[in-house]
Amino acid sequence: MKLDITKIVQHRLKPGQFMEVKYDKKQIYLHHTAGGPDAVSVAKYFDTKPERVATAFIIGANGTIVQCFSSKDWAYHLGLKESIFKANKVPYLSLDPISIGIEVCNWGPLTFKNNKYYNYVGGEVNASHVTTLEKPYKGHKHWFTYTDAQIESLRQLVEYLCETYNIPKDYNESIWDIDIDALKGNKGIFTHNSVRKDKSDMYPCPRVIQMLKNL
């Protein structure tokens, strides 16, 4: 299925909140917001960041895709320092301009206490919204579930971007940890974990992995 443009809502960020400079795109990075379900709220939050931190796309829990700026433009979404490259013996490269960031609205890791699940701000989470991994990932076994609508919108969007920018659709298991190919600026689909050990977005949800394998 091609990208359903009816899912896309335009919320262009204010001038100066992103860089209107065109770069050849080589990478796609998958993030999640560590917050609530509304993508427009995330876009409004981006507009308050003087550091020009944002992603081109945000996918809400209902599958709506909010576009903040053209995928040809860029903003800071990886938070990389030269020390990360040095630690992995890779020459420093500014990856933000050559990559496209996609945020998925999701609370991230959950805690389980007294037979109840909680997000990191203490909000109780219904068990129907919990994904439990077979093995803990970055110290957490329970995670907030990516909705079916989000995964389908993500599939359509990633497929469209890969075809538009000639980015390979191949799935690599290495994207859930530091990935040297990512740091080198090689073409591919990655997660924030691929370049930051201190991040956990996205997490290796089996349904997301299957979607990526089927691209």
Could you tell me the end-to-end alpha-carbon distance of the chain, in angstroms, rounded to an integer? 11
Per-residue pLDDT, 64: 97
Side chain identity, residue 207: R
Reported as a single tens digit per residue, the pLDDT across 111-140 is 999 999 999 999 999 999 999 999 999 999
| pTM of the predicted model as reported, rounded to 2 decimal places | 0.97
Per-residue pLDDT, 1: 64
Task: Tell how far CA 62 is from the center of its chain.
Answer: 16
Where do the domains of the chain lie, and which CATH numbers do they carry? 5-106+146-213 (3.40.80.10)
Sequence-separated contacts (24+) of 34-41 with Cβ below 8 Å: 34/106, 34/107, 34/108, 34/120, 34/201, 35/105, 35/106, 35/107, 36/105, 36/107, 37/61, 37/62, 37/105, 38/105, 39/9, 39/64, 39/65, 39/66, 39/103, 39/105, 40/9, 40/11, 40/66
Mean pLDDT for the chain? 97
Using 50 as the pLDDT threshold, list the residues of the chain that sit under it. Answer: none
Pairing of strands 57-59, 65-67: antiparallel
User: For residue 69, which of 119, 11, 110 has the smallest C-alpha distance?
Assistant: 11
Per-residue pLDDT, 133: 98
